[in-house]
Amino acid sequence: MLLSVIVGGTVGYMAIEGWSPWDAFYMTVITVTTVGYKEIHDLSRAGQAFTVVLLFGGVGTALYTFTLLATVVVEGGLPKRFQRRRQAHMLDTIKDHFIICGYGRIGSIVAKQFQRQHVPMVVIERDGERMQLALEHGALAVEGDASQEHVLKRVGIDRARGLVAVVGTDAENVYAVLSARVLRPDLFIVSRAETDDATVKLKRAGANRVISPYQIGAAQIAQTALRPAVVDFVELATGTDNLELSMEEISVAIGSALDGRTLLDANLRQRFGVIVVGIQRADQRMEFNPTTGSPIHAGDKLVVLGRADSLKELELEASR
């Protein structure tokens, strides 16, 4: 509207008074903005009448435009637009991330654990209030249904490292897992289940791991009552708040310095100060408390216990 007023005023002065385009434009601007400078040239009676019309129509339009712009800035509309553009850019560029389907009690805890370990992630939440809560907690979040393929594509499932399905019901988790498996047959998927029947269905749908919070919670309570010292040690080794001791899995790459060597030859305890508590072979078979003569092959995952800096050094050697 403001642009139409300026263009119309410029054309009107040129047609009525025969002024140059610049003089007509300048006269229109000082009239609409109510600056009150003297006319550039003397106005005819027709030019004065046109100026009166321009004042009544243009001043109101200009005030409305400036008020609207001020409202956008003051009420946060402009920052929200920048935030949406920033999120869209991050969704287009994020990679090696986890997709968390659902931001309820379980999903928010999973997201918090990922944030503590600086793991990139995207949250999909159908409820608008929960989605905003995820944004307030610093997570990259999208409002949508995790079982819809276009939503999974929007959050970069083709570049994702894994998917965690913790939506409200088992049926929703089954649909989310099935949709993700169709789009990415090689994606690592973890899902929550409330019943044994749902566990079977989720595995059939394509989940690599199915976790039952009730079973894990009950087992944790029993172990704490029977073996509190063991539970304390496991929490110390796997907790994210512990900066001195950590338990991690180290993947052995093809042609790395560890490929084809035994634990004795690798001398990991003396060189890195870590303890190898298990080896997961390429066929998913777990070898607990391996002996010094146990071989290390490409594709194996070493479950090791040690300081964080030592584990990073070992991970670097295992990857090259």
Q: What is the CATH number of the domain that holds 172?
A: 3.40.50.720
Q: Are residues 259 and 171 in the same domain?
A: no
Q: What is the pLDDT of residue 77?
A: 60
Q: Which of 74, 102, 122 is where one domain is finished?
A: 74
Q: What is the pLDDT of residue 76?
A: 59
Q: What is the pLDDT of residue 29?
A: 86
Q: What is the pLDDT of residue 209?
A: 94
Tell which residue, 299, 310, 318, has the closest CA to residue 247: 310
Q: Is residue 225 part of a domain?
A: no
Q: What is the pLDDT of residue 301?
A: 92
Q: What is the pLDDT of residue 78?
A: 62
Q: Is residue 89 part of a domain?
A: no
Tell which residue, 86, 10, 82, 1, has the closest CA to residue 51: 10
**Secondary structure, 3-state, the chain:** CHHHHHHHHHHHHHHHHCCCHHHHHHHHHHHHCCCCCCCCCCCCHHHHHHHHHHHHHHHHHHHHHHHHHHHHHHCCHHHHHHHHHHHHHHHHHCCCCEEEECCCHHHHHHHHHHHHCCCCEEEEECCHHHHHHHHHCCCEEEECCCCCHHHHHHCCHHHCCEEEECCCCHHHHHHHHHHHHHHCCCCEEEEECCCHHHHHHHHHHCCCEEECHHHHHHHHHHHHHHCHHHHHHHHHHHCCCCCCCEEEEEECCCCCCCCCCEHHHHCHHHHHCCEEEEEECCCCCEEECCCCCCECCCCCEEEEEECHHHHHHHHHHHCC
Per residue of the chain (320 residues), what is the pLDDT tens digit? 888 888 998 898 899 988 889 988 988 888 888 776 777 788 888 888 888 888 888 888 888 888 887 776 666 566 667 777 888 888 889 999 999 999 999 999 999 999 988 899 999 999 999 999 999 898 999 999 999 999 999 999 999 999 999 998 999 999 999 999 999 999 999 999 988 899 999 999 999 999 998 888 898 899 899 989 888 877 776 665 655 677 888 999 998 989 999 999 999 988 998 999 999 998 889 999 899 899 999 999 999 988 888 888 999 999 88
Q: Are residues 307 and 199 in the same domain?
A: no
Q: Are residues 198 and 114 in the same domain?
A: yes
Q: What is the pLDDT of residue 81?
A: 72
Q: Are residues 104 and 198 in the same domain?
A: yes
Q: Are residues 68 and 105 in the same domain?
A: no
Please tell me the pTM assigned to this model: 0.66
Is residue 286 classed exposed, middle or buried when 0-12, 13-18 and 19+ CB atoms within 10 A define those classes?
Answer: exposed
Q: What is the pLDDT of residue 239?
A: 65
Determine how many CB atoms are found less than 10 A away from the CB of residue 78: 12
Domain span holding position 51: 2-74
**How many structural domains does the chain have?**
3
Q: Are residues 65 and 98 in the same domain?
A: no
Q: Is residue 80 part of a domain?
A: no
